[in-house]
Amino acid sequence: MCGRMNISDHEGVQWLLDQLGLTLPEEKFTPKYNVAPTAAIWGLVMTRGALTLEPMQWGYIPPWAKEGVFKRPLFNARSETIWEKPSFKNLIRRYRAIIPANGFYEWTRKGKEKEANHISLKDHPAIALGAIVQTHTDGYLQCCLITTEANGDMQSVHNRQPVIIQPDEIETWLTDDSPDYLNTCMQPIENGLFDIQPISGYVNNTRHDGPECLT
């Protein structure tokens, strides 16, 4: 799963947007070192054939769900079952997004304790996370990250990882509705690309924010 993100470095996020000819003005960017589900984030979507950067909420409850069916919003979707689950299958077919982030967090169990890790890419300051998106009845967007089996590097930390889309594949990911193509995107990235750094337990508390989360 992926339950926490680091979206704190504007220059890194802007590097990714530069590949797409987009700009996120720094005055609209709020550094968030410990992004948890239900937080407000920025996501890339196709709007009337144009690539746009839109505010959205991480996590959603399907509009058809009866009250009490979901105790908390859905914030991860497994790629292996995304075409079958009622909560996801219509969204993956037509409504996909990219969440630009600097990295994500995952925890390794060591006995009764859990050790926090920050995972980013070695050669890029930002990472493009594959997601599905829906429009809430009130008109704002909500997203859910897609996860896949961990690659060899991540296996020592966790058995899942977010789906990562390469910058030159982002527009195709957002526009190509072919299941065969989308399934090729929803695979673990090759080994050797992740930078996995153990960090302190400060990040464990979702109320904590700031550079201390990466210490």
Q: Provide the annotated active-site residues.
A: 2, 106
Phi-psi region of 193 (alpha: psi -120 to 50; beta: other; left: phi over 0): alpha
Structure tokens at 14: 């802007």
Nearest Cα to 119, choosing from 197, 193, 191, 190? 197
Taking the C-alpha atoms of 4, 74, 100 and 12 in order, what is their torsion angle to the nearest 10 degrees?
-10
Residue 32, SS3?
strand
User: Roughly how many angstroms between the first and final C-alpha of the chain, as a whole number?
Assistant: 22
Distances (CA, A) of 87 to 9, 21, 134: 32, 32, 11
Contact 171, 20 (CB under 8 A): yes
Give residue 81's identity as a one-letter amino acid code. Answer: T
Distance CA 45, CA 81 (A): 23
Nearest Cα to 14, choosing from 98, 102, 96? 102
Give residue 185's identity as a one-letter amino acid code. Answer: C
